[in-house]
A and B are shown apart, each in its own frame.
Chain A
């Protein structure tokens, strides 16, 4: 499966425009940023959700505020690392390191981005077979798509493949 089609073309344009401007000025200018474009969507079999284990992936920048290092949210080039934490974590123990969305909603009600209690309820109701006990979390300001594909995604894929989950839900911010 190709996660970034036309990778070389994308990177050349990125390097010659957005990155060159950043290196020359220290400013990020998304008017000259080209979002990655894929012509083909991956194909794959569906699952019976009520009989499947689901794993949650979030790009809202969630982390355990008392025991984990926050994502490097102010970094203009992004932070391509990830954190994991238990799905049973109380929201009072989670903070969000991501400088590219307004935190008013998530600070009021974390379920707008991190639906842990909703997913637990859907398991209880039999709509989801099971919820994997680990959340995969990263901070979704990732302007260098090639680093996302080379550094972040392999780590996400490794965790998902090891999880035994049959399905994954990505909630972006």
Chain B
């Protein structure tokens, strides 16, 4: 997307790293729950904000790993 800053998050570190997007946040969440546990708004916002905040920096960025998972 020429001229448009992009960012994404993924629970699938292996495949996402292969694609090599300009801004990537990796979690230990799960397929079908990319942003966090259902009704856990705090976790969903943490993942979302970490992903969005990457937009403030020039790309490509090193991939950011977040310690966010479905299980404690």
A interface residues with partner B (beta carbon < 8 Å): 1, 35-49, 52, 54, 100-106, 108-109, 111-113, 115, 118-119, 122, 127-128, 157, 160-161, 165-173
Contact = CB atoms under 8 A, between A and B. Distances in A.
A147 B48 CA distance: 29
B60 A41 contact: yes
A47 B55 contact: yes
Interface of B: 1-10, 12, 15-16, 18-22, 30-39, 41, 44-45, 48-49, 51-53, 55-60
A171 B32 contact: no
Contact of B37 (A100, A112, A118): A112
A113 B32 CA distance: 7
Contacts of B33: 105-106, 112-113
B20 A38 contact: yes
Contact of A115 (B1, B3, B48): B48
B33 to A, nearest CB: 4
